[in-house]
Chain A
């Protein structure tokens, strides 16, 4: 069974530009999560999809971040316009069931905003 994949692995952009991160969950996993780790801080929850619906987006930092999961398969996280403080590692995870179920993580996308 293929694991969670994320693309790109690294992205370097300038402040004010737009970046789109992609996550492909494990096949059959309806639940998809985004997390972020900024330098020196703990990994923080951003949002949770159940199929194509946003179940919980309480962790999204501001309206410059837009997550989508059209068709309930892969998900994208767009940052527009990017700011310096958006730099960090963005992780995606998926699970078959929701609350309390084991989440399987992708390798992350390292975003650097200059």
Chain B
């Protein structure tokens, strides 16, 4: 069975400083990993996706994530936070054809707060 742990429910940073949102996963197979973002009163938007091509994945709006198999981690980073980054971020895993339920498995979400 697959699972996702987002280690922080809230992260607060100052505008212009780096962002780090932490995620650890558990999967029996070679997973696909995603980060989604949800801005207030909006739907879920895909930030980036890891399959198996490259361990460092670049996404939209300057975000990137690094897949580390040895640490079972997929942390999301951004060099410089912007006020518009304030939102809730979800780390997500899919086992694909590896078995288990067809749907995605979500972490509990991390609220990113940007201080002016």
**Which residues of A pack against B, CB within 8 Å?**
3-4, 33, 35, 41-48, 55-56, 58-59, 91, 93, 98-100, 102-108
Contacts and interface: CB of A to CB of B under 8 A. Distances in A.
A56 B102 contact: yes
Given A102-B49, A108-B43, A48 B109 contact: no
8 contacts: A35-B106, A45-B102, A45-B104, A59-B101, A99-B95, A99-B98, A107-B42, A108-B44
A105 B102 contact: no
A105 B43 contact: yes
Contacts, number: 64
A99 B97 contact: yes
Contacts of A4: 43
A102 B46 contact: yes
Nearest to A100: B96
The 7 closest A-B pairs by CB, nearest first: A45-B103, A100-B96, A107-B43, A105-B44, A99-B96, A56-B102, A48-B102
For the side of the interface on B, what is the size category? 20 to 34
A43 B102 contact: no
Nearest to B6: A42
Contacts of B89: none
Interface of B: 32, 34, 36, 42-46, 49, 51, 90, 94-98, 101-109
Contacts of A100: 32, 51, 94-97
A53 to B, nearest CB: 12
Contacts of B90: 43
A11 to B, nearest CB: 16
Contacts of A55: 102
Nearest to B42: A107
Contact of A102 (B34, B105, B108): B34
Contacts of B46: 102, 104
B50 to A, nearest CB: 11
Nearest to A107: B43
Contact of B106 (A44, A48, A56, A99): A44
Given A91-B44, A108-B43, A103 B49 contact: no
